[in-house]
């Protein structure tokens, strides 16, 4: 058996059995490394090398947590929640439900391109809205699907923000490096059909799977909600300035870490967070995002072990050996392998460079068009991002929806997003490869 397959299956099985995701990643790494012929010492060496690469991202998210807690203390998210709750109490439930879902969708989409802050907005906006969700009897699994859709679809098809990085720098860059002439190719056109698969999954989730009301314990929400928070015109003004500074600095220096730090300093200098409380707020905010940071560090180690075994390339080569001259079968196997690899690594941005070097020559030999090859590699890389326990596109929604312990990461975020996005995108990606 291939070490990659075994490692991913072990990791997913443990996660679905409600074993902590960090433990699941560590155990999966050990099993994968030993199965791939590595010694325990070599496996741990690779794992440790990988976690060093994830430390920077984890630190960035920790600082975003501090910024998020300072923003919550300013009262801005609560002001929004109070306004929405007032609407809910005045009998505008149905319209408000779709208004909230639409607003979250637009906010998530804009977090990838207009204001590229990725998942940083979720711990700011979602927790104060949980009481509104409960009053509307809104299924949080639908909210998780909305957030994940907005976090992934824009970078798949819109060449701005994170999409510019994924589509132009990573996808086209690695495809060109692997021998394909990409001159004049419209990368957005290549990824349009797979992106429509994401849209189909979102519509199914909202109008079929999770349209029925679901009840949550409002008392548990009140236990974690900061009802003592007060806000004023001054605190809201400072918070808006802090958000603008955080976004501006992040875009200027291309660093979430520095942007979050700059925003936090604005809260301190503006008096929203007093100098005496600054250390407590900062530490508490970092703790709030600590789980995501640990998962991302462990995921980086897991990915490095998979690469060290050499079985990612072997998995692709084994798949190629059964393809023959069938383009349809070739496209299906490429997408399935991409799904498996991304489920393990947890990042489409990291998967594309691995797959492009092998997929491009194979697809060229089988006669796929340049547009179809770009679509195949891009879809194979993006597959799994919405269904991996270690992906920030699933960890982010859970961080906001589970502050009261009523939203399970695996069964309420990962499984719903896997079913509603990976399967439709798999079909849409295969169709794109056949018709482009």
Mean per-residue pLDDT for 111-115?
A: 69
**420 confidence band (pLDDT: 50, 70, 90):** very high
pLDDT of residue 15: 75
pLDDT of residue 258: 81
pLDDT of residue 361: 79
- Segments making up each domain of the chain, as ranges: 3-220+290-435
pLDDT of residue 234: 81
**pLDDT surpassing 90 at residue 208:** yes
Task: Name the phi and psi angles at 78, rounded to 5.
Answer: -70, -35
Q: Which of 9-18, 65-74, 100-109, 368-377 is predicted most confidently?
A: 368-377
What confidence tens digit (pLDDT) does each residue in 267-277 have? 888 877 778 77
Query: Helix, strand, or coil here: 15?
Result: helix
Q: Which residues contact 360 (CB under 8 A, 6 or more apart)?
A: 175, 178, 179, 180, 373, 377
Q: Which residues contact 111 (CB under 8 A, 6 or more apart)?
A: 117, 118, 119, 120, 121, 150, 151
The 10 Å Cβ neighbour count of residue 326 is 12
Mean per-residue pLDDT for 231-235?
A: 76
Q: How far apart are CA 277 and CA 297, in angstroms?
A: 29
Residue 163 or 370, more confident: 370
Mean per-residue pLDDT for 412-434?
A: 94
Q: How far apart are CA 106 and CA 403, in angstroms?
A: 23
**78 confidence band (pLDDT: 50, 70, 90):** low
Residue 47 or 288, more confident: 47
Query: Helix, strand, or coil here: 101?
Result: helix
pLDDT of residue 256: 67
Percent of the chain with pLDDT over 90: 21
**229 confidence band (pLDDT: 50, 70, 90):** low
Average model confidence (pLDDT) for the chain? 82
pLDDT of residue 422: 92
**16 confidence band (pLDDT: 50, 70, 90):** confident
User: How many angstroms separate the Cα of 8 from the Cα of each of 25, 99, 398?
Assistant: 9, 38, 21
**86 confidence band (pLDDT: 50, 70, 90):** low
**192 confidence band (pLDDT: 50, 70, 90):** very high
Residue 84 or 359, more confident: 359
Mean per-residue pLDDT for 57-74?
A: 73
Q: How far apart are CA 73 and CA 69, in angstroms?
A: 6
**In this predicted structure, which of 256-260, 362-366, 392-396 has the lowest mean pLDDT?**
256-260
Residue 25 or 223, more confident: 25
pLDDT of residue 427: 95
One DSSP character per residue, 175-218 reads HHHTT---TT--HHHHHHHHHHHHHHHHHHIIIIIT-S-----H
Check the CA dihedral 389-392-395-398 and report its sign.
negative
């Amino acid at each position: 058996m291939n070490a990659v397959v075994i490692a991913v299956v072990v990791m997913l099985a443990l996660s679905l059995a409600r074993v902590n995701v960090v433990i699941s990643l560590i155990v999966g790494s050990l099993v994968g490394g030993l199965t791939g012929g590595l010694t325990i010492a070599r496996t741990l060496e690779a794992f440790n090398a990988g976690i060093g690469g994830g430390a920077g991202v984890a630190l960035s998210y920790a600082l975003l947590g501090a910024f998020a807690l300072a923003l919550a203390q300013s009262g801005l998210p609560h002001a929004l929640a109070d306004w929405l709750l007032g609407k809910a109490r005045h009998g505008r439930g149905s319209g408000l439900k779709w208004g909230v879902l639409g607003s979250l969708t637009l906010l998530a989409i804009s977090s990838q391109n207009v204001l590229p802050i990725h998942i940083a907005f979720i711990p700011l906006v979602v927790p104060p809205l949980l009481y509104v969700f409960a009053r509307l009897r809104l299924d949080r699994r639908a909210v998780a699907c909305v957030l994940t859709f907005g976090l992934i679809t824009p970078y798949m098809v819109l060449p701005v923000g994170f999409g510019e990085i994924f589509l132009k720098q990573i996808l086209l860059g690695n495809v060109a490096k692997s021998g394909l002439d990409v001159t004049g190719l419209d990368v957005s056109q290549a990824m349009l059909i797979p992106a429509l698969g994401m849209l189909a999954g979102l519509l199914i989730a909202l109008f079929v799977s999770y349209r029925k009301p679901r009840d949550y314990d409002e008392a548990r929400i009140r236990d974690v909600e900061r009802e003592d928070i007060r806000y004023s015109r001054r605190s809201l003004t400072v918070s808006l300035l802090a958000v603008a500074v955080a976004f501006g600095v992040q875009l200027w220096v291309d660093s979430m870490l520095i942007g979050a730090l700059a925003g936090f300093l604005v809260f301190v200098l503006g008096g929203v967070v007093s100098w005496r409380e600054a250390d407590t707020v900062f530490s508490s905010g970092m703790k709030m995002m600590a789980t995501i940071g640990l998962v991302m560090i462990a995921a980086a180690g897991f990915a490095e072990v998979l690469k060290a075994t050499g079985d990612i390339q072997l998995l692709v080569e084994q798949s190629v050996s059964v393809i023959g001259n069938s383009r349809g079968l070739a496209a299906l196997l490429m997408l399935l392998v991409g799904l498996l690899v991304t489920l393990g690594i947890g990042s489409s941005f990291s998967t594309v460079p691995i797959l492009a070097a092998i997929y491009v020559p194979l697809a060229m030999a089988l006669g796929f068009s340049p547009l179809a090859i770009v679509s195949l590699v891009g879809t194979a890389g993006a597959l799994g991002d919405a269904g991996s326990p270690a992906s920030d596109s699933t960890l982010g929604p859970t961080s906001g929806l589970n502050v009261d312990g009523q939203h399970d990461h695996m069964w309420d975020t990962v499984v719903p997003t896997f079913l509603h996005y990976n399967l439709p995108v798999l079909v849409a990606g295969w169709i794109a490869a056949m018709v482009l």
